[in-house]
Chains A and B, each alone.
Chain A
Amino acid sequence: MTNQKSYSLPSIMTSDSSLPWLLPLITMLVVFAIIPFFYNIYLSFHEFVPLKRALIFVGWDNWIKLFTDEIFWGSLKVSLYYTFVCLIIQLVLGMGIALLIDSDDPGFGVIRSILTLTLVIPPAIAGMIFLIMEDANYGLIPWALKSIGLLGQEDTILADPTLALWGVMIVDIWQWTPFMVLILVAGLRSLPSEPFESAMIDGAKPFQIFRRLTLPMLHKVIAVAVLIRGIDLWRMVDYVFVLTSGGPGTATYTLSLYSWQRFTFVQWGYGATISLFSLIVILIVGNAFIHFAKVKW
């Protein structure tokens, strides 16, 4: 290394200490994640009082309000339902499609490429595509459901309290099932072929092979997929904002949307309390999942 001398850097950059290497990352995390986290805690004990034009300390009021607020419990239920139902549908559907297109045939590569398309569409825009397709009067989906008799002639999707959430979930399922498929295909492709060959020779049935060999060997890949999808489902706000804005009434408020909506109504403290609640839940559940499913980076 003859050019080492011409390459002079501040001595702190050449030292063995970890600090200079990690300092930019740590600074970014502190300013944009840790300070907001503590500021959120601070806000949850304060409320903006318009008359005084100031944040006033209110003690536990916001938290008491939170646990007695029916809209909060409703939005918690919506968030939980949305997260779990979408996760299960995407996982099962994703596994089915992954097994279908797991092949060396180059024709299947085209399908994998098509499936990547939905992954780069902004969720807000994906919501708008479905806004057109689910329109009560001229939409394709209500028309199709009506013509096969699944939906009454006068019924709508997005204005119906029980169907509206499904109208939102269908977008998520459309956009992110391909994500599950592609992860699972990547996992399936990386499996060794010997165990499967010997199982076939021993006369195992396809379902037995899937249950006893494929699933356990895909354990890690499935865990990663569930973790990442679960995080994004829990914090989803784009689709529901575009499609229903929480309506009809408060039927499709998720925690994130409700907290954002309180924020825009200048209930800054209460909005922060709701968002802090959803943050604490995902941090505990997410880290516990990483621990118990032994996900490694």
Chain B
Amino acid sequence: MFKKISAYLVGLIFFFPIFFLISSAIKPTKDIFAIPPKIFFFSINLNNFQNVFSQINFFPSIFDSFIIAFGSASWTLVVAIYSSYYLSRNNFKFKNLFIMSVISARMMPLVSISIPLYFVLSKLNLLDTYLGLILVHSCINLPLAVLLMKSFYDDIPKEIDENALIDGASKILILHKLIIPLSLGGLSVTFVLSFIFSLTEFICAVMLSQMEIKTLPVYASLYKTLPSWSTMSVIISFSLIPLFVLLLFIQKYIVRGLTLGSVKE
């Protein structure tokens, strides 16, 4: 019983900042600036929403974020489907080295790839474009997607492939007709996780595009110096909604996803 109560207390502590954010979005201004802070007993005022929606149009940045997230998650998945299958089923000379270099790509500080990519993208005229950020985000997500998909393929018995090979099917046919249908769950988890990470990525989005395209975190961070807490809380509460909805689809696999497939639940 003691264990249960303290466990719930821990849950509440970690949930509290999210609750506090949402409550700041619906508090009247005088309650936001009240001292002592009104944590639970505040009056509810939905005018904030009306004010924010009539003054600030952040839907373009939601649109930008979703285009980039959708594009990069799709491309990431296409690349991962084939390369992960090969990595899962075949042994080759430099396989370990190859996997190590995929993981090393995951280690790179994003600032240190953004600075050179700024010049690469500007030469290709891809700065401040959807395509530029889609490609950069897919590269950031590839190590995760490749290793995660490999772990899902590893779960499928190799006998299935071997039997089909004996029947004379080619590898690509086995992948398309047998393995992909069996790993649809893993594919969707990989897609949604890449989608979420593209939505949350900040530093590349800010360094490689800021004039034309603003993703949600970049747009929200513009309000960090604004004195209006209610505006800020409304904007960031709204940007969290799609993320929590997406989370519902992958909650069971989040540990596996965040550890690049190496810890299974």
Interface residues, chain A, with chain B CB atoms under 8 Å away: 1, 4, 7, 9, 13-14, 16, 18, 21-22, 24-25, 28-29, 31-33, 35-37, 39-40, 43, 97, 100-101, 103, 105, 107-108, 110-111, 113-133, 138-140, 143, 147, 174, 177-179, 182-183, 186-187, 189-190, 221, 224-225, 228, 231, 234-235, 237-238, 241-242, 255-257, 259-260, 263, 268, 271-272, 275-276, 278-279, 282-283, 286-287, 290, 295-297
Contact = CB atoms under 8 A, between A and B. Distances in A.
A29 B119 contact: no
Interface string B127-144: 000000001101100100
Interface stretch (B53-61, B183-191, B247-255): B247-255
A147 B6 CA distance: 24
A179 B233 contact: no
A41 B244 CA distance: 40
A174 B19 CA distance: 14
Interface in B62-107: 78-80, 82-83, 85-87, 90, 92, 98-107
B259 A237 contact: no
Nearest to B104: A283
B108 to A, nearest CB: 6
B236 A297 contact: no
Contact of B109 (A32, A108, A275, A296): A275
A36 B116 contact: yes
Main secondary structure of the interface of B (DSSP, over half): helix
B111 A275 contact: yes
A132 B21 contact: yes
A263 B115 contact: yes
B213 interface: no
Query: Which of A7, A28, A182, A271 is packed against the most chain B CB atoms within 10 Å?
Result: A28
Given A124-B202, A282-B107, A29 B142 contact: yes
B247 A116 contact: yes
Contacts of B224: 127-128, 131, 242
A170 B87 CA distance: 39
Given A32-B117, A43-B115, A183 B109 contact: no
Contacts, number: 293
B117 A143 contact: no
A78 B113 CA distance: 21
A147 B5 CA distance: 26
A275 B139 contact: no
A139 B39 CA distance: 11
A121 B117 contact: no
A121 B244 CA distance: 8
B261 A297 contact: yes
Contact of A121 (B170, B232, B233, B240): B240
A114 B265 CA distance: 17
Given A22-B86, A107-B4, A117-B244, A275 B105 contact: no
B259 to A, nearest CB: 5
Contact of A143 (B36, B101, B102, B196): B36
B113 A36 contact: yes
Nearest to B192: A120
Given A117-B15, A140-B20, A283-B107, 8 more contacts: A25-B80, A111-B10, A119-B258, A125-B216, A125-B221, A128-B232, A237-B110, A282-B108
Nearest to A285: B107
Contact of A275 (B6, B115, B199): B115
Interface residues of B, number: 105
Nearest to B170: A14
Contacts of B26: none
A279 B111 CA distance: 9
A225 B8 CA distance: 24
Contacts of B18: 117-118, 121, 129
B212 interface: no
Contact of A116 (B87, B172, B254): B254
B263 A115 contact: no
A40 B10 contact: no
Given A29-B102, A122-B239, A138-B32, A24 B79 contact: yes
A160 to B, nearest CB: 19
Interface in B1-51: 3-4, 6-8, 10-11, 14-15, 17-18, 20-21, 24, 32-37, 39
Contact of A28 (B98, B106, B142): B142
Contacts of B251: 113, 116
A118 to B, nearest CB: 6
B107 A28 contact: no
Contact of A35 (B11, B112, B120, B263): B120
B200 A121 contact: yes
Contact of B217 (A43, A118, A125, A268): A125
A91 to B, nearest CB: 15
Nearest to A234: B109
